[in-house]
Structure 1
Amino acid sequence: MKRLSPERLHDELADVDDLLIVQDLDGVCMQLVKDPLTRQMDPQYVEAAARLRGSFMVLTNGEHERRRGVNRLVERALGSKDRPGRDGLYLPGLAAGGVQFQDRFGDMSHPGVSVAEMDFLAAAPQRMESLLLERLPALLPEVDPTQLAQLAHQAVLDTEVSPTVNLNGLFGLIPNDLERQRQLQGLLEALMEQLLQEATQQGLDGSFFLHAAPNLGWDATGRERMKPSVAGDVGTTDIQFMLTGSLKEAGLLVLINRHIATRWGEAPLGKDFNVRTAPRTHQALMDLARAKIPQEKMPRLVGVGDTVTSTPAPDGQGWLRGGSDRGFLTLLKDLGQWCGQSNRVILVDSSHGEVDRPGLADETLAGISDPEDPLHLDVLMPSGPEGYIQWFIHLSERRSQRAAD
């Protein structure tokens, strides 16, 4: 299948009556950075998202609230803490993989999450930091203890429902040492596995799982494969401690269900449908959609992401495919095929930021896709978030003008 130019996709979408754009955030509408607290959001992008009201939702593994939340970026972009809530300029949609929903006024909920689970998550960041401080000195003996303590503190992202350890600052100490980068990834995985065990000991067996970003898909045990560091591609940089069910593909169905309820007055999957009660496999999600959602009420979908991976399997037989956006983008395409409509996928090049990643400088897509990949990427944005933002702003203006006419 041939790819579309961004301009051609503009022409396709400008006059679509029932449109829903489902968009990731980091690496898509802002550059990937080593310290998420330094992220910045373009105010014109925020205004464009508001113009697309009713046709735009976010779906991110990041979070909406607290000091690391995207809401703080919106407020800084607009230069006001009051205006986004007053005028409905926050980015609506699902965060933390799907367990955190907010509307455009910043009203937020966590459907299906228990008090005990929230309590464990509240204590997790401090536990992560203490475990890092226990284990890092053996791997990085040349680093001053004071500096190591500072880096360990910076590595822990104290979000509300998906606390995360981010290795980027620590990787910066050993930029060309692939062996120790991989050891650091192994240390992180062991640390997070210990947290899972501690949750089980507190009666929360099955409440959480580990999300590695980027990853190489799922192994036979149902866990995500870490992506080892190689020259030119640092591999897995983060592991998020997430609530079970926090899968973007399930989140996609939640957003579609909410969109249909708003447009047609009835939620085909039920008004309380959420990612924690949703099926957890691609096939089961497709089966649910076919059984419950009328085809004529399905919106035209556009999925936007930046994290899709594909690496040759070690045995030379096939490919290991993953990435935090692959699941929801694949489901989005398959829903379009079922409904007989051309749902589109946009892939944004996030290699322009501070994190080493495969890019879209040419169309080989090495490390991203492969010749046998079933996920067709309709539009590539090699210029990264900056190019995507300009495309997004232009689309919002065209659709606004159409509505005015």
Structure 2
Amino acid sequence: MARLSLEKLQEEISASSNVLLIQDLDGVCMPLVRDPLTRALPADYIEAVRRLGHRFRVLTNGEHSGSRGVNRLVERALGPERDPAGEGLYLPGLAAGGVQSQSQHGAISHPGVSESELAFLAAVPGQLKAGVQAMAERLRPSSSAAVLEPLSQAAVLDNQLSPTLNLNVLFAGLQLEPAEQRRLQEASQELLEGLEEQAKEQGLGDSFFLHLAPNLGSQDGKEQLKWASPEHCGTSDFQFMLRGAVKEAGLLVLLNQHIARQTGHAPLGDDFNVRTAPRNAEGLLALAQEAIAPDQVPTLIGIADTITSEPRVEGTQVRWSRGGSDRGFLTLLQEIGRAFGTPNRVVLVDSSDGELDRPSLLDPELKGLSDPEDPLQLDVLVPGGPATYVEWFNGMARNVF
């Protein structure tokens, strides 16, 4: 497949009168790390985002607010003498898979989320901490509490809308072999599925789901765990998320908002959000085709890093398990382009050079990421990772807009 360079992509962006860049964060504009508290955003990247204005929105499974939120990274990068809210320097767009919306001035809302759901989520981090402490003790019974407790605490991300168990700190801190990593993955899945059962007992059975990152796609509505191996650690993030909070629904929300900014009319309605959106990609695409006029659709540029593809043998045939937290929204973005005749582009950034085990774009066959039959077309590859992407992004914002 013929691919574009970043330079050619910039030419296409500059030639478009109506463009919207939708970008993931971790692994794209900053390297992947085991502990989110150690992340850093470049100040010039934040300034470039503001320069793009309505042409740019983030779409992330992380969160804007909270001690581990991206807003803290913005504030740290700019320093105490700057006021990101007043200057409009927060990153605008959707977080927590789409249920946390933020303006560039830091105004945050949670469309479609109920008080009972927020109350249930508030109790989840405490249960995760107790569960992960027990798992660590089983894996390393001879280790002292002074060693295990800090690791267990660091593994639980107490996000308001997407409490997360991040196994990377445990993989590294406990020096787990692949077989031990798989045991920890299995126990983590059981722990989070137990929370889903608790929610059902409280009348919130349709409120939450377990998001695995990276994953191998979904089967019967359940994301498939990518087991650890000697080559890659597999699924490391177990996120307890609000149902409907998936990036493909978030993509349609951002498209609806963009058209409203451009025309003064939201074709999907002013209150359209990921909780009210169709629950599958086919429904989302059908809704877009039904409600949106072709001349209102911008050129969409999707920028992300997390897709997976693994072979599985079924008899004499090889089939592919495809997943990754960015695959859904990138695929829908591609399909919207085909349906509306817009030259949408999919950009994949190499996140393998961070602290986490990820397949690399330097592999010419893109093993672990794509496959010869993959319906997702990767238009632009960025093998240089976040540093290369940010350098290009800053130059594009400066020279085009």
Equivalent residue for 1:153? 153
CA separation in 2, counterparts of 1:174 and 1:223? 29
Q: CA deviation at 1:91?
A: 0.4
Tell me the secondary structure at the aligned position of residue 209 of structure 2: strand
Q: Is the 8 A contact 2:140 2:174 kept in 1?
A: no
Q: Provide closer, same or farther for how the CA distance between residues 106 and 236 of structure 1 changes in structure 2, counting only shifts above 3 A.
A: same
CA separation in 2, counterparts of 1:67 and 1:226? 28
Equivalent residue for 1:403? none
CA separation in 1, counterparts of 2:200 and 2:136? 25
Greater mean alpha carbon deviation, residues 313-322 or residues 205-214 = 313-322
Equivalent residue for 2:253? 254
The count of residues paired between Structure 1 and Structure 2 equals: 399
Percent of pairs with identical residues: 53
Tell me the secondary structure at the aligned position of residue 232 of structure 1: coil
Q: Is the 8 A contact 2:34 2:169 kept in 1?
A: yes
Equivalent residue for 2:386? 385
Q: CA deviation at 1:18?
A: 0.6
Q: State the Cα deviation string for residues 154-192 of structure 1 (Å, max 9, x = none).
A: 100001100000001110145461111100100100110
Consecutive aligned runs of 4 or more in structure 1 exceeding 3 Å deviation: 173-176
Tell me the secondary structure at the aligned position of residue 381 of structure 2: strand
Equivalent residue for 1:313? 312
CA separation in 2, counterparts of 1:311 and 1:80? 46
Q: State the Cα deviation string for residues 20-64 of structure 1 (Å, max 9, x = none).
A: 000000000000000000000000100001100010000000000
Q: Is 1:231 aligned to 2:230, yes or no?
A: yes
CA RMSD of aligned residues (A): 1.1
- Any residues of structure 2 matched to 1:5-404 within 5 Å, and which? 5-80=5-80, 83-175=83-175, 177-219=177-219, 221-315=220-314, 316-400=317-401
Q: CA deviation at 1:232?
A: 2.2
Q: Is the 8 A contact 1:348 1:382 kept in 2?
A: yes
Question: TM (normalized to structure 1)?
Answer: 0.97
Q: CA deviation at 1:140?
A: 2.2
CA separation in 1, counterparts of 2:294 and 2:230? 46
Q: CA deviation at 1:81?
A: 7.2
Tell me the secondary structure at the aligned position of residue 53 of structure 2: coil
Tell me the secondary structure at the aligned position of residue 361 of structure 1: coil
CA separation in 1, counterparts of 2:184 and 2:78? 38
Tell me the secondary structure at the aligned position of residue 380 of structure 1: strand
Q: CA deviation at 1:317?
A: 3.0
Question: TM (normalized to structure 2)?
Answer: 0.98
Q: Is the 8 A contact 1:15 1:399 kept in 2?
A: no
Q: State the Cα deviation string for residues 324-374 of structure 1 (Å, max 9, x = none).
A: 000000000110011112100100000111001101113210000000000
CA separation in 2, counterparts of 1:228 and 1:17? 45
